[in-house]
Amino acid sequence: MSHETESKFQNTTGHVWDEDLQEFNNPLPGWWLWTFYATMIFAVVYWVFYPSWPIGKTFLKGINTIEYVNDKGEKKSSSWNTRALLLQDMNEASKAQEKWVSKLAATPFDKINTDPELKAFVVSAGKVLFQDNCAACHQSGGQGKFNFAPNLTDDDWIFGGSYDAIQQTLVNGRHGIMPAKGGNAALTDADVTALANYVLSLSGEQANAASAEKGKELFAGAGVCFSCHGADGKGNQAIGSANLTDKIWLWANVPGAKSADEKVAAVKEVITTGLNRGVMPVWKGRLSDEQIKLLTAYVHELGGGK
């Protein structure tokens, strides 16, 4: 049987399994083979020039060297590595940006908005800085996170929305504190309910009128709320006390509440426990002055500033 098949296919490797299972001998084209050899030679040449084999705790570094400027601005030279290559690329990129960075540094804040090209630079370059440093809390679009970090795209500025105020916030950081029950531990649950109803009524939310009336007295009296939030409840940007009369809520989940009772409960919780969470870190020293200026302009642009 196997004789028959052998006579049919002359060009086989001559290996036969299971009587008639054979292997064709189809030659590879020469150019293909030589390309394969060439890749081997290429690999050996590569080992000589570039980092390759691990040797114990170190590795074969290769004879290729690379020059780069490190983050302290010092010129360095080392065996070739991709980290240095990245630094080279970063240096090139920042050189390409330099024209705009220096233009921004020389432009007073109020003139940035009148230069469309500079503004476009602030939006695109600021976005990158923002993503790297701010988005962890304020989210990628600056929309903030409820009960955590304020929304930067609206027109409510807790510590002020002017260029100077935003720059101060970035340079020195912020820490928003509200004492539990405004510092007056004697307030009863009923008092807090009354205050919550009043605060809701300030924003035009549905509230129990009688309770709110009582809350109004407490707000200006025993509750000592007025000392920070002001007699009219509009807050004080100098100390970062919130404006209670607008429709923006950061800590009490009023927009997410399904019923009037839930809204009251949400506000009550904030009043009862107070706040010690609104911490914005200090960025001076972590970012350069130019970067802080760029971010200031970017954040101002996000919400339209004040």
Partner 1 sequence: MENQASNEGSLYQKRIPIYPRSVKGKFRNFKWAILAVAYLVYFGLPWLPWERPDAPDQAVLFDLVGRRFFIFDMALYPQDIIALSMALFIAAVTLFFVTTLVGRAFCGYFCFQTIWTDFYIWIEHLVQGERPARIRLHKQPWNFEKIRKYGLTHALWLLASFWTALTFVLYYGYAPELLHKFFTGEMVNAGYITVIALTISTYLAAALLREQVCIYMCPYARFQGVMYEPETLVVTYETKRGEGTKGRHPAVQGARTREERQAQGYGDCIDCEMCVQVCPEGIDIRDGLQYKCISCGLCIDACNTIMDSMGYPRGLVRYDSETNAKSDNPVQPKLDLLRIRTIGYGIFILIMTGILVYNLATRTSFEESVQQVRQPLFVVLTDGEIRNRYQVRITNKTDHEETYVITTKGIPDGALDFGGLTNEVKVRAGKSLMVQVNVKLTPEEAAKTDTFEFIITPKDKPEEAGIRKVRFSSKHEG
Which lies closer to partner 1 via its Cβ, residue 130 or residue 219? 130
Contact stretch for partner 1 (CB under 8 A) within 86-94, 166-174, 188-196, 298-306: 298-306
Judged by CB under 8 A, which of 119, 160, 177, 272 binds partner 1?
119
Q: How far apart are CA 182 and CA 178, in angstroms?
A: 7
Is the C-alpha dihedral spanning 135, 139, 144, 148 positive or negative? negative
- The single-letter DSSP state of residue 27 is P
* 25: contact with partner 1 by CB under 8 A: yes
Quick check: 71 binds partner 1 (CB under 8 A)?
Answer: no
CB nearer to partner 1: pick between 83 and 111: 111
Query: Which CB, 179 or 256, lies closer to partner 1?
Result: 256
**CB 151, min distance to partner 1, A:** 7
287 by DSSP, 3-state: which? strand
Q: Which residue, 127 or 214, is less far from partner 1 as judged by CB?
A: 127
Question: Which CB, 173 or 256, lies closer to partner 1?
Answer: 256
Of these, 21, 33, 86, 105, which contacts partner 1 (CB under 8 A)?
A: 33
Q: Which CB, 175 or 247, lies closer to partner 1? A: 247
What amino acid occupies position 271?
I
27 by Cβ neighbours in 10 Å (0-12 / 13-18 / 19+) ranks as: exposed
Is 153 a binding residue for partner 1 by CB under 8 A? The answer is yes
Say whether residue 42 binds partner 1 (CB under 8 A): no
Which lies closer to partner 1 via its Cβ, residue 154 or residue 217? Answer: 154
Question: Applying CB under 8 A, does 154 fall inside the site for partner 1?
Answer: yes
Which residues, listed in sequence order, are joined to residue 236 by a DSSP beta bridge? 241
How far is it, in rounded angstroms, from Cα 22 to Cα 8? 11
Number of residues binding to partner 1, judged by CB under 8 A: 36
User: From CA 30, how far away is CA 239, in angstroms rounded?
Assistant: 80
Please report which helix (H) or strand (E) contains residue 15, including its range: strand 12-17
Phi, psi of 160 (to 5 degrees): 100, 140
- The answer to whether 301 contacts partner 1 (rule: CB under 8 A) is yes
Distance CA 41, CA 43 (A): 5
Q: Are strands 12-17 and 21-24 parallel, antiparallel or unpaired?
A: antiparallel
Residue window 244-263: x/- pattern of binding to partner 1, with contact defined by CB under 8 A? --xxx------x--------
Q: Exposed, middle or buried by CB within 10 Å (0-12, 13-18, 19+), for 169? A: buried
State yes or no: residue 155 binds partner 1 (CB under 8 A): yes
Residues that bind partner 1 (CB under 8 A): 10-11, 25, 27-33, 113-114, 116-117, 119-120, 123-124, 139-143, 151, 153-156, 243, 246-248, 255, 301, 303-304
